[in-house]
Amino acid sequence: MENPTQHLTPEEQFQARIDADVRIEPKDWMPDAYRKTLIRQISQHAHSELVGMLPEGNWITRAPSLKRKSILLSKVQDEAGHGLYLYSAAETLGTTRDQMLADLHSGKAKYSSIFNYPTLSWADMGCVGWLVDGAAILNQVPLCRTSYGPYARAMVRVCKEESFHQRQGFEIMQTLCEGAESQKAMAQEALNRWWWPTLMMFGPKDEDSPNTAQSMNWRIKRFTNDELRQKFVDMMVPQAEFLGLTVPDEKVQWNEARQAYDYGEVNWDEFWAVVKGNGLCNRDRLGARVKAHEEGAWVREAAMAHAAKRAERELVAA
């Protein structure tokens, strides 16, 4: 039987599978650039989960009740889990955990810039859940259908767990907004600080995002940065109104013709400054990661030595 794909180059065959929505699995042939793009994106995503524990970990002991402490602890534990699912997915592409961590610690690999902003008040925990996790979910839901199988499967697990994160954040905001004037003011102040950095989470504008076209073509990405940013604004403005809070952007206005909210321009100078390492907390966050890794080295070595010793004993006994 004549196979219509057999005259195609490997690249063309690969693209044909992508176009037919066939998932790519670890041992399948793939272009080097596809592999590299995925390793960069998945590891960056994993690093974001890992670093994302730091701003919240800061509040576990200070959360206002035992219930809030337990919830926050659980959320931070989920984030560690999400990081682990994602590192495993990246490892199926041929990189190693050590290599990825080394790239994070040296500053070569990036993580989401949102975690380079400080968490100053309890309302910030509300904003991180409601806004930051809300933005993350918009990014992540389409990734459940991304073309690389292990990444898509990891994202299904992540998304299942993430919706609790956003709801608990909204609940914190709602509780504050229904409380005393000073509590509502705290919520508004936190929203003022987090709104713009959250819009930056979707990445540069489409015209400044040179990789988007290729990633869409490979069906790694399903929506552009600006499409997702617009969705986010449309989702969040009514929620802020429900809470009785004001989004800190005078240009936010319903556009009847577009059936979407107009909104102001993100401060891209600030965006690039934080990406390049000059945000408020870049050095702190990376410093904390490196310290934890270095101070845990003896534990990792001891566990290996212990495992080797036990394996040897079992061999002798056998």
Binding site for another protein (CB under 8 A): 25, 27-29, 74, 77-78, 81, 84-85, 88-89, 91, 96-99, 153-154, 157, 161, 300-301, 303-304, 306-307, 310-311
Decide whether 21 or 181 has the Cβ nearer to another protein: 21
Residue 22 CB, shortest distance to another protein, in Å, is 12
Decide whether 96 or 253 has the Cβ nearer to another protein: 96
Decide whether 250 or 314 has the Cβ nearer to another protein: 314
d(CA 139, CA 144): 10
Residue 99 CB, shortest distance to another protein, in Å, is 8
Decide whether 166 or 224 has the Cβ nearer to another protein: 166
Decide whether 91 or 103 has the Cβ nearer to another protein: 91
Residue 290 CB, shortest distance to another protein, in Å, is 16
Residue 138 CB, shortest distance to another protein, in Å, is 23
Residue 15 CB, shortest distance to another protein, in Å, is 17
The torsion region of residue 41 among left (phi > 0), alpha (psi -120 to 50) and beta comes to alpha
Residue bearing tokens 């400080």: 118
User: What distances in angstroms separate CA 111 from CA 83, 84, 178, 263, one per listed residue?
Assistant: 12, 15, 35, 26
41-61 b/e (C-beta count within 10 Å ≥ 16 → b): bbbbbbbbbbbbbbbbeebbe
Start-end of H helices in 147-267? 149-177, 181-200, 212-217, 225-243
3-state class (DSSP) for residue 24: strand
